[in-house]
């Protein structure tokens, strides 16, 4: 990501824009309007124009946006021009699913190492990814220059595991555990609670059925 300060809601939408622009570019489309983007990504066109305005003049009035140039701009902004290696911490059911997926639709992000305590899988290679003993995190994470980790360990060991990740040099953690972990200010945590997301969806279906859904700004 660029070091320029932009609203967090905008930052969350940038990968959505980039993914669709890449689809357009692969299809040979040369330009796109904010209205066309709005229809495709389900974000209000005024919100799209405001998001883009944080980065200067990306388009031309009456012309729209050059697809290839805009895609390249967001690729650089999102650091898609270099490979990002990720560590998977915990190879349970969810961990196995993530190893199978391994960001195959994104050639610039990959899980390069997995860690677990189960003797039957430690030392094996799963979906092309080596599985290390949990005690090897302190050695392998700096060695492989990994700064991002996906956390799928049991809740009771989440915080202790995070402490070791921070000590090993990890700067970003995607937390799939239900625990709200504590980290230093220089470490970023993205919490992904599938149960909460499902409960929220059910709540909105029960209480806001038939109402127009608007993208959070």
Q: Residue 148 and residue 119: Cα distance in Å, rounded?
A: 24
Q: Which residues contact 214 (CB under 8 A, 6 or more apart)?
A: 44
Residue 25 marked ligand-binding: no
Residue 207 marked ligand-binding: no
Place of tokens 């555990």: 177
Tokens of 69: 């140039």
**Torsion angle of the four alpha carbons 121, 122, 125, 129, in this order, in degrees rounded to the nearest 10:** 110
Q: Residue 119 and residue 171: Cα distance in Å, rounded?
A: 28
Number of other residues whose CB lies within 10 A of the CB of residue 35: 11
Residue 194 marked ligand-binding: no
CB 148 within 8 A of CB 154: no
Residue 123 marked ligand-binding: no
Number of other residues whose CB lies within 10 A of the CB of residue 166: 18
Using alpha carbons, list the distances in angstroms from residue 180 to 5, 95, 159.
25, 19, 9
Number of other residues whose CB lies within 10 A of the CB of residue 98: 22
Residue 93 marked ligand-binding: yes
Q: Residue 110 and residue 95: Cα distance in Å, rounded?
A: 14
Residue 175 marked ligand-binding: no
Q: Which residues are annotated as a binding site for NAD(+)?
A: 90-95
Q: Which residues are annotated as a binding site?
A: 90-95
């Amino acid at each position: 990501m660029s070091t320029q300060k932009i609203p967090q809601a905008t930052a969350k939408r940038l990968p959505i824009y980039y993914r669709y622009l890449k689809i357009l570019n692969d299809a040979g489309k040369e330009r796109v309007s904010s209205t066309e983007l709005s229809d495709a990504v389900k974000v209000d066109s005024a919100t799209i124009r405001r998001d883009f305005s944080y980065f200067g003049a990306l388009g031309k009035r009456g012309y729209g946006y050059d697809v290839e140039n805009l895609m390249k701009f967001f690729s650089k902004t999102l650091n898609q021009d270099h490979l990002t290696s990720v560590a998977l911490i915990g190879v349970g059911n969810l961990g196995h699913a993530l190893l199978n997926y391994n960001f195959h639709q994104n050639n610039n992000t990959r899980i390069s190492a997995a860690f677990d305590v189960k003797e039957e899988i430690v030392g094996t290679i799963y979906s092309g990814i080596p599985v290390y003993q949990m005690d090897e995190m302190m050695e392998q994470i700096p060695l492989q220059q990994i700064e991002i980790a996906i956390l799928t360990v049991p809740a009771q060991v989440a915080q202790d595991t995070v402490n070791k990740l921070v000590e090993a040099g990890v700067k970003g953690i995607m937390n799939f555990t239900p625990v709200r972990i504590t980290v230093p200010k220089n470490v970023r945590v993205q919490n992904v609670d599938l149960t909460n997301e499902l409960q929220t969806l059910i709540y909105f279906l029960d209480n806001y059925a038939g109402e127009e859904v608007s993208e959070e700004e």
